[in-house]
Structure 1
Amino acid sequence: MNKLCYPLMLFCTLLVSACVQTVQLTDKDQVRQSQLAISSVRDMPISYAKGAKFSLSPKFINASFSQAEQASIYESYSKAVNQALIAAGYQPSDSEQAEFTVVYGLALQQDLPDSKISEEFGVLPGLSSAERLEKGSFLIYIEDNITNQRIWRGAVQGFVHQDFSPAQREQRAVTVVNSVLSSFLSMK
């Protein structure tokens, strides 16, 4: 009986410890999946008073996902940018009357690699790639409509959440936009 009991206890102990290790790995993956890397830079010392008018100008990047998916994602980010700027006291306007334009785009790593972001945009948050997780980038800049000069730019990188519901995607867009725009909105 003792000969059977020891191997059974050893097996149960290994089984329990394996379960604990699996949970820990899952927790690490979940934390990693929610990470955001953010970087921004001020290009010119121009700021806008509350009440200044802005317009949005999404730039669509050739994407490996469908146009319907891309339109839905851009709609979420347009809404989030609009809400953040309105909450900061700015007013949406058409491009002819706007004092500044907010230009932004989204891309998966396979469509826009880090090297190209760094080369063409000059700001790279530097989120490391991870196995089984798809990295995405949100690039945004503010252009002054009087000087036609870029005055601020920012970039956020995070991991894509394909399994999110529409409501969760909306909230993720708000989180991403607010995290990077806070740098622009705090400029005086």
Structure 2
Amino acid sequence: MTRSSAAKPQGFTLVELMVVIALVAIIATLAAPDFQRLIARQKLNVVASDLLVSVMQARGEAIKNNRQAIVQPLVSSDWSRGWRVFVDLNNDKAYTEGTDMLITTVREADSSVLQFQVARNTTVGNLIGFDASGFVLGADAGQVIFSSSVLGTSYRKGVVISRTGRGRICAFPAASSGADQCAGASE
């Protein structure tokens, strides 16, 4: 028996490699829109969580300092631009630098990737405030709802604040359903 000295070639041919690259490119193109939606959903979840943390922080500061504490948008009533948490030492429900005690400032989300439209209950408006007992000031109980320009109004997340001062994150139905309240929002 004689053996052939020629070794069997191993590896991919150029044609096989080009077919695999073309398939990967097609699959990546199909997956890109879903990946963008996944990122948008996650950013909505993060913004809602950040606002809930700020609301609970304000409530805790109000109780700790025995004074009213406020969560207020940085720009008029536009919650999508960010907000600040402060102890309102002069009880005017507006942040005054040098007078009020600033607890934290949360800046706007990455608007280059995601733009937010914020729908809010009219009772929330320009602030969410807590008295020294941790209860919501006046009729400030309500909700702040975030939606995404990428997702449209099909997926909305928000923070619901009860009159007792408890906050929670809630998924809201599509805006087309006409419902701006999640199950059990009125406590």
Q: Same fold by TM (over 0.5)?
A: no
Q: TM-score, normalised by structure 2?
A: 0.37
Kindly name which structure, 1 or 2, has the bigger radius of gyration based on alpha carbons.
2
Q: TM-score, normalised by structure 1?
A: 0.37
Q: Which has the higher helix share?
A: 1
* Greater fraction strand: 2
Larger RCO (CA under 8 A, 6+ residues apart): 1
